[in-house]
Amino acid sequence: MKRIDAAYHVRGEAEYVDDLPQPAEMLYAAVFASTVARGKILALNLKEALALDGIVAVFAASDIPGTNQWGSIIPDWPLLAKDEVDYAGQPVAVVVAKTKVLAQKAAHKIAMQVKELPAIVDPKEAFLRGQIIGVPRTFVLGDVARAWSNCDLIVEGNCEIGGQEHLYLETQRARAIPLEGQTMRVYSATQNPYAVQKTIAEMLNLPHHAIEVDVKRLGGAFGGKEEQATHWACLAALAAWHLDKPVELVLSRLDDLKMTGKRHPYSSDFKIGVTKEGKIIAYEVKHYQNAGAYADLSTAVLERTLFHSTNAYFIPNVQIFGVSCRTNLPPSTALRGFGGPQAMFVIESAITQIAEKLGVEREEIQRKNLLRAGDFFPYGQQMQTNSVRLTWLEAEQNYHLAEIKNRVADYNASHFEIKKGYALMPICFGISFTATFLNQGSALVHVYTDGSVSVTTGGVEMGQGLSTKIAAIASRAFGIGIERIKIETTNTTRIANMPPTAASVTTDLNGNATLLAIAQILDRLKVVAAKELRVSEPERIAFADEKVLYAGESTNLSWAGLLEKAFLFRTNLSAHAFYATPGIQFDRALEKGHPFAYHICGTALVEVTLDCLRGTYEIDSVKIVHELGRSVNEMVDLGQVEGGLAQGLGWMTIEDLRFSDSGQLLSLNLATYKIPDVYFMPDEIAIKFLTQENPLGPYGSKAVGEPPLMYGIGAFFAIRQAMRAFQPTSEFAFNSPLTPERVLCQLYQKEFQEMAQKTAVNFRSQIST
């Protein structure tokens, strides 16, 4: 089944926030942000900006009537900086003008005097200086200290893991429209409408109900609009509230790159011990997370890092330490995978180092340690399925691992300049918000007398196909054509207190709520139908193919005909329902519990070709066996796997997020930050779904959004294998991304050292092309 919004997309008719018709007298806002990463604000000079023709107002921290301090977990982040700035790109003032161009021009005219203070950009340095957010966490299984003595080989190592820019194609934006009686409607490109509602209300000293937030669709989000869309909606609302005029704020790409947070960089130290047969006995890891300047979602991201530190493996003795470190980078935030990718990269690095030391193939160690049903995770939950092994074995057989292994070995033996490499990448990703209370969904369903249906849920359509899946679920539950279903905007007046659209669970939560709401309406309709058909057992009535069935037999009562009657019988044709995932809990005092409804497993096989003369590589193919439930829409699920994979491949290879030592973003435009393009992605991508019935998902379906990203991790190890084919005796670092620069400089370490010495340090941070 096709996506319900695709025809709008291809005709350019899909509406995003600023495509809605412009209200009369709308004004446009732009943001003035700090250019230094840390400092005391001495003075803010607005004179030149205000003197420009067409400038309406400039608002600073002192113009905020209510709370200038927000954050979903720890409210430590000022909407507008007051006395100090803690990252380059931190908003200080919002400029409002008659046109967008004018507003941006005026923002450039604002001058801020700052006493610059030394910035911290390294998480370990922040940790040593006591700059941490929340509390350090430790998960323990077995007894690592005692287990080392049972190991035949122990290796230690370090991973420096790069961040990642979301690069949603639609930059951050919002439009705020003041309405009668101190109320406001805000159109926001947010994954988190309730956070926007709440934060604006608190900023303006208004009750939550005064603010209506409406979200049609997002032009991509990937976590970047979960916590960080709130800021821009608040700034538009602040201006609209003061001026009593509609205000639109759309970040330019350069402002968006500079002012918003990205995936967390990590510095992680590992120690791993195995028997000589390759069985992992003990694993110890310390994750120093670069959280940036404010809490954002960092402690939750860190928690997921702890949960996924052993990825798809069972290790009997584990000690996992993690700490969020406060630095002077923009606050790091959610990005597809949410701390899981970093955790998995470290354990894969540790396994790789062991395999290299033992002189065996990486997959030999991986295979020996895969999770089985009944194994305990370090957080106390038991693995319910054998899906890790099933997908692994299926990938080995279906994609002919043995042949690939031989082919690569033969190729490498007969080629000097070009080497090939492959890697297997198993994943096991927990599904549920790790903050248990967030696992709630809502739906509001109306059936109209013509038989058409309106569905609102607490989930946001951001390209992931939520609307299509909810429509498919509703169509199936009512037994009517999908063209009868309309998925409404996400709106805080129709659904209250929704959690963010995140953690891959939005279809699970809101799809289940939709089913519950529909069940209420159907129960009422069955009574009407029973009367109409003059039968005594309403429970034997069912709905399919736009028909009313009785005892499995078609009747002459149609869906539309039934609705006409139902209205005359004064039947309630609307229902709201609420769903909360059952059976999940986590005790943070013990660091044990059952935080996940279920796990998503899969295995990828990545093949690459490396040009050892130039240090460049191509990803030849990616072949995946991915565990899926009974898919509600296989086209949408396939798209999620392929899209997540691309982001994971990019994160591991060419997406080179760079900050200077003084905290300035260096990869500050699309000329310097590269995401996969149509050529980077291999033409050969094979995906096989392994169907596993899921009692917790709507119609047995499973979550799909985040886990596939982590298949991309395989690219790092495939390239590394090719590097080792060229230089078997060299030590290579576990630092990501593995850019062509890192490849070449490690392939030619001696030459590179000589050449690096030739060069005086002379860094020009901005080079135009």
Partner 1 sequence: MTGQICFLLNDRQVCTPANSGLTVLDYLHHLARLRGTKVGCREGGCGACTLLVGSLRGEKVSYQSVASCLLPLGELQGKHLVTIEGLNQSRLSPVQQELVDRGATQCGFCTPGMVMSLTGYLLKAGTKISFEELKNALGGNLCRCTGYASIKRACNFLVTTTGNSSRENIQDLVAKAIVPEYFQEIPARLRQLSQSALENGKTTADFLIAGGTEIYVNYGDILPESRVKLLNQSPQMKRISSYEGKIYIKALTTFAEFATDPTIVKLIPDIQAYVSRIASWQIRNRATLGGNIVAASPIADGSILLLALDSLVMLNNGNRSRILTLKEFFQGYKQTAQKPGEILSEIIFPAPQANKINFEKVSKRKYFDCAVVNSAIKIRCENDVICEIAISMGGVAPIPLFLKQTSNYFIGKPVSQDTIETAFPILQREISPISDVHGSAGYKRLLARQLLIAHFSKLFPDFLQLRDFYTTN
By beta-carbon proximity to partner 1, the closer residue of 445 and 744 is: 744
Q: Which of 117, 542, 666, 733: binder of partner 1 (CB under 8 A)?
A: 666
The tokens describing 375, both together, are 């194994």
156 with 354: CB under 8 angstroms? no
How open is the CA angle 720-656-330, to the nearest 5 degrees?
135
Does position 756 bind partner 1 by CB under 8 A? Answer: yes
Q: Which of 545, 614, 661, 730: binder of partner 1 (CB under 8 A)?
A: 614
Does position 564 bind partner 1 by CB under 8 A? Answer: no
By beta-carbon proximity to partner 1, the closer residue of 279 and 688 is: 688
Distance CA 87, CA 158 (A): 27
Q: Which of 48, 277, 417, 523: binder of partner 1 (CB under 8 A)?
A: 417
Does position 7 bind partner 1 by CB under 8 A? Answer: yes
Q: Which of 393, 533, 635, 733: binder of partner 1 (CB under 8 A)?
A: 635
Q: Which of 9, 115, 146, 357: binder of partner 1 (CB under 8 A)?
A: 9
Q: Which of 39, 91, 163, 220: binder of partner 1 (CB under 8 A)?
A: 220
602 with 727: CB under 8 angstroms? no
In the complex, what is the shortest distance from the CB of residue 168 to partner 1, in angstroms, rounded to a whole number? 6
Indicate the Cα dihedral angle 64, 66, 67, 68, nearest 10°: 0
In the complex, what is the shortest distance from the CB of residue 483 to partner 1, in angstroms, rounded to a whole number? 15
Cα–Cα nearest to 270, from 278, 280, 279: 280
By beta-carbon proximity to partner 1, the closer residue of 281 and 462 is: 462
- Which range in 30-38, 231-239, 674-682, 714-722 contacts partner 1 by CB under 8 A? 674-682
Contacts of 98 (CB under 8 A, 6+ apart): 27, 28, 54, 56
Does position 222 bind partner 1 by CB under 8 A? Answer: yes
By beta-carbon proximity to partner 1, the closer residue of 127 and 338 is: 338
Site string for partner 1, 374-413 (x = CB under 8 A): ----------------------------------------
Q: Which of 63, 639, 688, 724: binder of partner 1 (CB under 8 A)?
A: 639
- Which range in 90-98, 484-492, 532-540, 650-658 contacts partner 1 by CB under 8 A? 650-658
Distance CA 539, CA 555 (A): 15
Does position 706 bind partner 1 by CB under 8 A? Answer: no
In the complex, what is the shortest distance from the CB of residue 394 to partner 1, in angstroms, rounded to a whole number? 20
The tokens describing 728, both together, are 């078997």
**H-helix or E-strand containing 724?**
helix 713-726
Please give the distance of CA 656 from its chain centroid, rounded to a whole number: 18
Helix (H, G, I), strand (E, B) or coil at 722: helix
Q: Scanning the structure block, which residue is given the tokens 């062509």?
A: 740
Indicate the Cα dihedral angle 190, 193, 196, 198, nearest 10°: -170
In the complex, what is the shortest distance from the CB of residue 407 to partner 1, in angstroms, rounded to a whole number? 21
Kindly identify the residues of this chain, within the stretch 252-281, that bind partner 1 according to CB under 8 A. Answer: 252-253
- Which range in 220-228, 229-237, 426-434, 697-705 contacts partner 1 by CB under 8 A? 220-228
Q: Scanning the structure block, which residue is given the tokens 């340090």?
A: 761
In the complex, what is the shortest distance from the CB of residue 334 to partner 1, in angstroms, rounded to a whole number? 15
Distance CA 108, CA 30 (A): 10
Q: Scanning the structure block, which residue is given the tokens 């078997």?
A: 728
Does position 676 bind partner 1 by CB under 8 A? Answer: yes
- Three-class secondary structure assignment of 516-565: HHHHHHHHHHHHHHHHHHCCCCHHHEEEECCEEEECCEEEEEEHHHHHHH
Helix (H, G, I), strand (E, B) or coil at 271: strand
Phi-psi region of 71 (alpha: psi -120 to 50; beta: other; left: phi over 0): left
By beta-carbon proximity to partner 1, the closer residue of 544 and 745 is: 745
Q: Which of 38, 217, 304, 362: binder of partner 1 (CB under 8 A)?
A: 217
Q: Which of 138, 158, 398, 672: binder of partner 1 (CB under 8 A)?
A: 672
By beta-carbon proximity to partner 1, the closer residue of 281 and 473 is: 473
Kindly identify the residues of this chain, within the stretch 283-322, that bind partner 1 according to CB under 8 A. Answer: none
In the complex, what is the shortest distance from the CB of residue 491 to partner 1, in angstroms, rounded to a whole number? 19
Does position 621 bind partner 1 by CB under 8 A? Answer: no
Distance CA 453, CA 474 (A): 9
Contacts of 138 (CB under 8 A, 6+ apart): 319, 320, 321, 322, 591
Q: Which of 180, 402, 679, 728: binder of partner 1 (CB under 8 A)?
A: 679
In the complex, what is the shortest distance from the CB of residue 37 to partner 1, in angstroms, rounded to a whole number? 17
Burial (CB < 10 A; 0-12, 13-18, 19+), residue 535, is: middle
Cα–Cα nearest to 517, from 579, 565, 459: 579
Burial (CB < 10 A; 0-12, 13-18, 19+), residue 570, is: exposed
Kindly identify the residues of this chain, within the stretch 734-753, that bind partner 1 according to CB under 8 A. Answer: 739-741, 744-745, 748, 750-753
DSSP letter for 587, please: E
Residue ranges with strand state E in 564-637: 574-580, 585-587, 592-594, 598-611, 616-628
The tokens describing 160, both together, are 């420096």
By beta-carbon proximity to partner 1, the closer residue of 106 and 584 is: 106
Q: Which of 61, 153, 681, 690: binder of partner 1 (CB under 8 A)?
A: 681
In the complex, what is the shortest distance from the CB of residue 28 to partner 1, in angstroms, rounded to a whole number? 11
Does position 695 bind partner 1 by CB under 8 A? Answer: no
Kindly identify the residues of this chain, within the stretch 44-103, that bind partner 1 according to CB under 8 A. Answer: 99, 101
Distance CA 14, CA 11 (A): 8
Q: Which of 496, 671, 691, 730: binder of partner 1 (CB under 8 A)?
A: 671
Kindly identify the residues of this chain, within the stretch 444-473, that bind partner 1 according to CB under 8 A. Answer: 462-465
DSSP letter for 499, please: P
**H-helix or E-strand containing 284?**
strand 280-292
- Number of residues in contact with partner 1 under rule CB under 8 A: 97
Q: Which of 407, 486, 674, 688: binder of partner 1 (CB under 8 A)?
A: 674
Kindly identify the residues of this chain, within the stretch 238-257, that bind partner 1 according to CB under 8 A. Answer: 252-253
Does position 616 bind partner 1 by CB under 8 A? Answer: yes
Contacts of 47 (CB under 8 A, 6+ apart): none
Q: Which of 414, 585, 729, 768: binder of partner 1 (CB under 8 A)?
A: 768
Distance CA 513, CA 515 (A): 5
By beta-carbon proximity to partner 1, the closer residue of 243 and 685 is: 685
By beta-carbon proximity to partner 1, the closer residue of 464 and 721 is: 464
By beta-carbon proximity to partner 1, the closer residue of 564 and 751 is: 751
Kindly identify the residues of this chain, within the stretch 95-124, that bind partner 1 according to CB under 8 A. Answer: 99, 101, 104-105
Does position 755 bind partner 1 by CB under 8 A? Answer: yes
197 with 492: CB under 8 angstroms? yes
Active site residue 706: yes
Does position 437 bind partner 1 by CB under 8 A? Answer: no
The tokens describing 355, both together, are 């395999």
Residue ranges with strand state E in 309-356: 317-326
In the complex, what is the shortest distance from the CB of residue 293 to partner 1, in angstroms, rounded to a whole number? 22
By beta-carbon proximity to partner 1, the closer residue of 19 and 537 is: 19
Following DSSP, what letter does each residue of 11-48 receive, concatenated?
Answer: TT----GGGSPPPTT-EEEEEEE-SSSSEEEEEEE-HH
Site string for partner 1, 168-187 (x = CB under 8 A): xxxx----------------
Q: Which of 706, 741, 751, 754 is catalytic?
A: 706
Does position 569 bind partner 1 by CB under 8 A? Answer: no
In the complex, what is the shortest distance from the CB of residue 464 to partner 1, in angstroms, rounded to a whole number? 7
Give the β-pairing of 84-85 and 39-45: antiparallel
Q: Which amino acid is at 204?
A: L
Q: Report the catalytic residues.
A: 706
